Amino acid sequence: MKIGIIGGGGVGQTLGSGLIALGHQVTLGIRAPSAEELAKPRAQGKPLAEWVAATGGTVATMAEAAAGSDLVINATHGEASIAALSLAGPDTLAGKVLIDVANPLDFSKGFPPALSAEYSGHTSLAEQIQAAFPAARVVKAFNTIGAAIMTNPGLVKGEHDLFISGNDAAAKAVVTDLAHALGWKNVPDLGDLKGARAQETIVLVWLQLIGTTGGTLHNLHVARG
């Protein structure tokens, strides 16, 4: 499958590497993929030129990454996601599964952050993305864990979960299959995109645990009676 990832930071690079290892063709989409830009360090990631050399993936503009893909992943900063996806192009997103990995976090008062006011309450970033791009098939997934765990759930011992939500059952099935291929055993379905409100809140628990444990290799599990 051809996969376009919007965002070239650590999350995009990690997901891209894991998906390439499964045999997918991955293009990271950034604003200006010049040689100078590819040589710069990226947030929580390596210079993109190094990532390309190590993985065989490609880097292009956001619009090119989306247009040439069968499936799109939003791996941008949550507060900038809609603007970035607008650069990717509404027409190129139409009909495609769009996995929203982003979290709308406000770090203005330090760590731990809060959810951005614009994307909290009776809405979520994923719902707002769906409203902005109504022809896309938005699925919220991979946002409640650290980047390393996204493609290697075995880093966390024991049972733990990858939550998903979305309005399109077939799109959720595609994402669930992708998660299973990456090694995820438990993929609880939280229903339609209103479930993304819970997912974006869950990440606050994950972040709080960083402060109390000093590490990032943790996740949550739903135990049923």
Q: Is residue 222 part of a domain?
A: no
Q: Which domain holds residue 182?
A: 2-213
Report the domain count for the chain.
Answer: 1
Q: Is residue 225 part of a domain?
A: no
Long-range contacts formed by 92-95: CB under 8 A, 24+ apart? 92/63, 92/66, 92/67, 93/66, 93/133, 93/135, 93/136, 94/133, 94/135, 94/136, 95/135, 95/136, 95/137
Q: Is residue 205 part of a domain?
A: yes
Q: Is residue 13 part of a domain?
A: yes
Question: DSSP characters for 80-92?
Answer: GHHHHHHHH-HHH
pLDDT at residue number 34 = 94
Model confidence, pTM: 0.96
- Residue-by-residue pLDDT tens, the chain, 225 positions: 999 999 999 999 999 999 999 999 999 999 999 999 999 988 889 999 999 999 999 999 999 999 999 999 999 999 999 999 999 999 999 999 999 999 999 999 888 899 999 888 899 999 999 999 999 999 999 999 999 999 999 999 999 999 999 999 999 999 999 999 999 999 999 999 999 999 999 999 999 999 898 899 999 999 988
pLDDT at residue number 168 = 98
pLDDT at residue number 205 = 94
pLDDT at residue number 42 = 87
pLDDT at residue number 224 = 87
pLDDT at residue number 145 = 96
Q: Is residue 219 part of a domain?
A: no
Q: Is residue 224 part of a domain?
A: no
Q: Is residue 218 part of a domain?
A: no
* Backbone angles phi and psi of 97, in degrees to 5: -70, 130
pLDDT at residue number 7 = 96
pLDDT at residue number 121 = 85
Q: Is residue 221 part of a domain?
A: no
pLDDT at residue number 95 = 97
3-class DSSP state for residue 165?
strand
CATH number at residue 162: 3.40.50.720
pLDDT at residue number 134 = 97
- Of 219, 73, 213, the closest CA to residue 145 belongs to 219
pLDDT at residue number 173 = 98
